[in-house]
């Protein structure tokens, strides 16, 4: 990549970092993307699935097609980096690098526009609302794959802790399916000194919390993977009162529908047992969100070939992560691959979803080059 383009991409990325927008609110981010596409001379359709934008570059006589996707939204986190280009929106920051993903895709558009040696159609999918707000599903419901036909689709996520610019490609699962959990325990309030006259939801919550830890260890095949974590417990208003109710909230993660269903049954069974033991009522709400992100074998190999062709480092030995990714919905309808591109060291709080995180601008050429390269290779060899 020419130095002038790399510097331009860095400026674009830092602009987006300064002006982050939450899921479903990406109006200005979408406008910024459209303005940059206008500069590059790339036609697009706006308003796909909300603030989504789909740009299309077509040339030559080939009827082959491929999609590239990037996410655009930020997180409700107060930034603590102290950078000159830190977020100017209180309580909102790009703590996951979607600003870098968006600009990488713009960079891929610039590279493809400047390269006459390919033929076919590349659709550039700028997706809103990845952070739990269903942006991928909204775009799919708005006819993404019908309106913009593509044989396969690729995307990436920056990965702190992986050497900068190195690309990790998984042969199957990359990220997990996620579910939101809520357990409402309803008992009978009473005086703390007269517990025999109450039905204590706090005691029940303790048993439930411990019981849920057996769901993975005693239900899931040890060769499979699963996580159940309770991250919130709410209940009680006075130290000398037994409250009427306690609410527990958390998440469950896994890589397959079979494991998901087993865990669902086990969590409900544990809750029913605790309810009977403690003489309380427990309502269980399991809301399944994003499905697992699973690479198809052929597309994973295409991605590996593109990495080698670009002269980037390749890792194939990294395990998948239990984090979730909206791109999984797209991979359920189209073959494709989701790769990780190293963001460099993760020390000093530079992990994803950390208030000290920042996308590494030095990897923009590698990320844009990979996206453009895997598109060309897909059109040539798919």
Residues 128 and 89 in one domain: yes
Residues 138 and 211 in one domain: no
For residue 1, the model assigns a pLDDT of 80
Over residues 165-208, the pLDDT tens digits come to 999 999 999 999 989 999 999 999 999 999 999 999 999 999 99
CATH number at residue 209: 3.30.70.360
Over residues 116-131, the pLDDT tens digits come to 999 999 999 999 999 9
Specify the higher pLDDT residue, 158 or 134.
158
Tokens 């979803």 correspond to 353
Final residue belonging to a domain, choices 288, 310, 334: 288
User: How is residue 263 written in tokens?
Assistant: 């865990």
Residues 242 and 367 in one domain: no
Residues 167 and 306 in one domain: yes
For residue 382, the model assigns a pLDDT of 62
Final residue belonging to a domain, choices 288, 312, 331: 288
CATH number at residue 18: 3.40.630.10
Residues 95 and 242 in one domain: no
Residues 201 and 302 in one domain: no
47-51, 81-85, 157-161, 219-223: which has the minimum mean pLDDT?
219-223
Residues 10 and 154 in one domain: yes
Its domain, for residue 274, covers 177-288
In which band, very low, low, confident or very high, does the pLDDT at 342 lie, cut at 50, 70 and 90?
A: very high
How many independent structural domains does the chain possess?
2
93-102, 120-129, 140-149, 317-326: which has the minimum mean pLDDT?
317-326
- Sorted by sequence, the CB contacts under 8 Å of residue 103 that are 6+ apart come out as 9, 12, 13, 16, 364, 368
Residues 229 and 342 in one domain: no
Residues 55 and 74 in one domain: yes
Whole-prediction pTM value?
Answer: 0.90
Residues 274 and 315 in one domain: no
Residues 170 and 181 in one domain: no
User: How is residue 284 written in tokens?
Assistant: 């269980």
Stretch 293-302: mean pLDDT = 97
CA 279/CA 275 separation, integer angstroms = 6
Residues 32 and 148 in one domain: yes
Do the Cβ atoms of 382 and 64 come closer than 8 Å?
yes
In which band, very low, low, confident or very high, does the pLDDT at 349 lie, cut at 50, 70 and 90?
A: confident
Distances (CA, A) of 275 to 86, 228, 240: 48, 19, 23
Residue 89 burial (CB < 10 Å; 0-12/13-18/19+)?
A: middle
Stretch 315-340: mean pLDDT = 95
Final residue belonging to a domain, choices 288, 317, 344: 288
């Amino acid at each position: 990549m020419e130095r002038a383009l790399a510097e331009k991409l860095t400026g674009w990325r830092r602009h987006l970092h300064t002006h982050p927008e939450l899921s479903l609110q990406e109006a200005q981010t979408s406008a910024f993307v459209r303005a940059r596409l206008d500069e590059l001379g790339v036609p697009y359709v706006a308003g796909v699935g909300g603030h989504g934008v789909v740009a299309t570059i077509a040339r030559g006589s080939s009827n082959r097609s491929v999609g590239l996707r990037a996410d655009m939204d930020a997180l409700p986190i107060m930034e603590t980096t102290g950078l000159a280009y830190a977020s100017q929106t209180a309580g909102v920051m790009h703590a996951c690098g979607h600003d870098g993903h968006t600009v990488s895709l713009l960079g891929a558009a610039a590279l493809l526009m400047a390269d006459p040696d390919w033929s076919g159609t590349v659709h550039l999918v700028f997706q809103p609302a990845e952070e739990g707000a269903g942006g991928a599903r909204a775009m799919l419901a708005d006819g993404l794959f019908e309106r913009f036909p593509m044989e396969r689709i690729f995307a990436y996520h920056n990965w702190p802790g992986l050497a900068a610019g190195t690309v990790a490609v998984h042969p199957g699962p990359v990220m997990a399916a996620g579910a939101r959990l809520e357990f409402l325990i309803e008992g009978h309030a009473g005086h703390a000194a007269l517990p025999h006259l109450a039905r204590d939801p706090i005691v029940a919550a303790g048993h439930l919390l411990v019981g849920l830890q057996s769901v993975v260890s005693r239900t899931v095949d040890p060769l499979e993977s699963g996580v159940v974590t309770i991250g919130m417990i709410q209940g009680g208003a006075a130290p000398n009162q037994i409250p009427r109710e306690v609410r527990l909230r958390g998440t469950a993660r896994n890589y397959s529908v079979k494991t998901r269903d087993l865990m669902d049954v086990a969590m409900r069974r544990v809750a029913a047992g605790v309810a009977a033991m403690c003489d309380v009522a427990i309502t269980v709400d399991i809301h399944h969100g994003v499905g697992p992100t699973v690479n198809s074998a052929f597309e994973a190999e295409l991605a590996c070939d593109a990495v080698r062709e670009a002269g980037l480092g390749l890792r194939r030995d990294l395990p998948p992560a239990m984090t979730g990714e909206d791109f999984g919905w797209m991979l359920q309808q189209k073959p494709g691959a989701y790769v990780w591109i190293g963001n460099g060291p993760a020390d000093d709080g530079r992990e994803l979803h950390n208030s000290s995180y920042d996308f590494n601008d030095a990897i923009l050429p590698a990320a844009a080059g990979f996206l453009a390269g895997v598109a060309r290779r897909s059109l040539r060899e798919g």
